[in-house]
Amino acid sequence: MVGFDVSVLQFLLAKRGFPLRYLNSNFGTTTEQRVRKFQRRMGLPVDGVVGKRTRAALLTGRRPRSHTPIVRRAAGHRHVVRPGETLTGIAARAGTTVGALARLNRLDPSRFLLVGTSLVVPRARAAVSRTSTGVVASLNRWAAHYGVSPELARALAWQESGFQNHVRSHVGAVGVMQVIPATWFFTERFVIGAPVPRTADGNIRVGVAFLGHLLREFRGDVRLALGAYYRGPAAVRRHGLGPETRHFVANVLALRGRV
């Protein structure tokens, strides 16, 4: 599980006295251990799952009431898993999260999702809020301009920031496309050839232009191009994708056409 929501979790864990060495957006063993320690201190079930009560405790810093919560099944519809589908893609299409979908159906998101599984899915909501309409329009416009698949550009932007321009990572990546300063400089100078304003639209232009550059550099190999966007082209050429980068790439590909 890799994404902005994990970064928020790691930040909240640090705020509550369980810091990690790096805020890397990756829900790995160390993050799970911190979650379990926090749950133990707050008197919560120690399961390593950041459910509703754990999230509330992280946000408020207060120990939840000791009463047994009443679990209500969320209103939704049944969906039978088809070949090629993932929890990430199904959750994105429904406007929910992988964690919420897994908890609702009592699934382990780290395990394989079997074709034919019947899932309860919350009633579909627009994955893109009204405030994101301008972001989507910008993504579509620059994708057309630079010859990049709009579906791929939107999937990458959703994975990187959830279409939020205020997001900033611990390595200095900013905006909708999570562009680091070195990438912005390179893309302005050698790909676009002109200065780009530091706006949401400018951030999207730089990110999409850089993605187009990587697709050309890796001869249209989408997986390698996405991996290079996440890890850097030199690292991908030298070491390949690696487990964390493969997870990132799989998430983006699962979101393609669903956001």
Structural domains of the chain, count? 3
Q: Which of 118, 87, 99, 93 is nearest to 51 (CA)?
A: 99
The answer to whether residue 175 sits within a structural domain is yes
Same domain for 198 and 231, yes or no, is yes
- Across the chain, what does the average pLDDT equal? 85
Token readout for 54 is 């754990």
Instruction: Answer with the residue of higher pLDDT: 32 or 125.
Output: 32
**Spatial separation of the C-alpha atoms in residues 216 and 206, rounded to whole Å:** 15
Instruction: Answer with the residue of higher pLDDT: 2 or 69.
Output: 2
Mean pLDDT, to the nearest integer, of 234-242? Answer: 93
Token readout for 8 is 């928020």
Mean pLDDT, to the nearest integer, of 133-149? Answer: 93
**Spatial separation of the C-alpha atoms in residues 230 and 246, rounded to whole Å:** 10
**Spatial separation of the C-alpha atoms in residues 38 and 193, rounded to whole Å:** 49
Other C-beta atoms lying within 10 Å of the C-beta of residue 80: 10
**Spatial separation of the C-alpha atoms in residues 98 and 122, rounded to whole Å:** 12
**Spatial separation of the C-alpha atoms in residues 10 and 21, rounded to whole Å:** 10
Residue 155: the pLDDT is: 93
The model carries a pTM of 0.54
Same domain for 51 and 83, yes or no, is no
Same domain for 136 and 250, yes or no, is yes
The answer to whether residue 170 sits within a structural domain is yes
pLDDT higher than 90, residue 38: yes
The answer to whether residue 88 sits within a structural domain is yes
Q: Which of 135, 189, 123 is nearest to 161 (CA)?
A: 135
- CATH number for the domain spanning 94: value is 3.10.350.10
Same domain for 222 and 238, yes or no, is yes
Same domain for 90 and 157, yes or no, is no
Mean pLDDT, to the nearest integer, of 152-172? Answer: 87
- Which of 69-83, 204-218, 225-239 has the weakest average pLDDT? 69-83
Same domain for 113 and 137, yes or no, is no
- The identity of residue 31, as a single letter, is T
Query: Which tens digits make up the pLDDT trace of 108-119?
Result: 777 777 878 888
Mean pLDDT, to the nearest integer, of 123-137? Answer: 62
Residue 13: the pLDDT is: 92
Same domain for 19 and 111, yes or no, is no
Range among 106-115, 129-138, 196-205, 235-244 with highest mean pLDDT value:
196-205
Residue 192: the pLDDT is: 96
Residue 206: the pLDDT is: 97
Mean pLDDT, to the nearest integer, of 27-45? Answer: 89
Query: Which tens digits make up the pLDDT trace of 187-207?
Result: 999 999 999 999 999 999 999
Same domain for 155 and 229, yes or no, is yes
Token readout for 89 is 């893609």
Q: Which of 1, 205, 237 is nearest to 228 (CA)?
A: 237
Range of the domain at 37: 4-60
The answer to whether residue 217 sits within a structural domain is yes
Same domain for 148 and 91, yes or no, is no
Q: How confident is the model at residue 166 (pLDDT cuts 50, 70, 90)?
A: confident
In DSSP notation, 27-96 reads --HHHHHHHHHHHHHTT---SS---HHHHHHHHH--PPPSSPPPP-PPSEEEEEPPTT--HHHHHHHHTS
Same domain for 108 and 135, yes or no, is no
Contact 53, 97 (CB under 8 A): no
Same domain for 147 and 215, yes or no, is yes
The answer to whether residue 187 sits within a structural domain is yes
**Spatial separation of the C-alpha atoms in residues 221 and 227, rounded to whole Å:** 10
Of the residues 85, 102, 122, the one at which a domain ends: 122
- CATH number for the domain spanning 215: value is 1.10.530.10
**Across-strand partners of 179?**
174
**Spatial separation of the C-alpha atoms in residues 188 and 195, rounded to whole Å:** 6
The answer to whether residue 52 sits within a structural domain is yes
Instruction: Answer with the residue of higher pLDDT: 150 or 76.
Output: 150
- CATH number for the domain spanning 19: value is 1.10.101.10
pLDDT higher than 90, residue 211: yes
The answer to whether residue 66 sits within a structural domain is no
The answer to whether residue 65 sits within a structural domain is no
Mean pLDDT, to the nearest integer, of 69-93? Answer: 67
Token readout for 136 is 């989507």
**Spatial separation of the C-alpha atoms in residues 128 and 143, rounded to whole Å:** 18
Same domain for 135 and 235, yes or no, is yes
Residue 85: the pLDDT is: 76
Instruction: Answer with the residue of higher pLDDT: 49 or 87.
Output: 49
Contact 128, 155 (CB under 8 A): no
Question: Which residues make Cβ contacts (< 8 Å) with residue 201, sequence separation at least 6?
Answer: 138
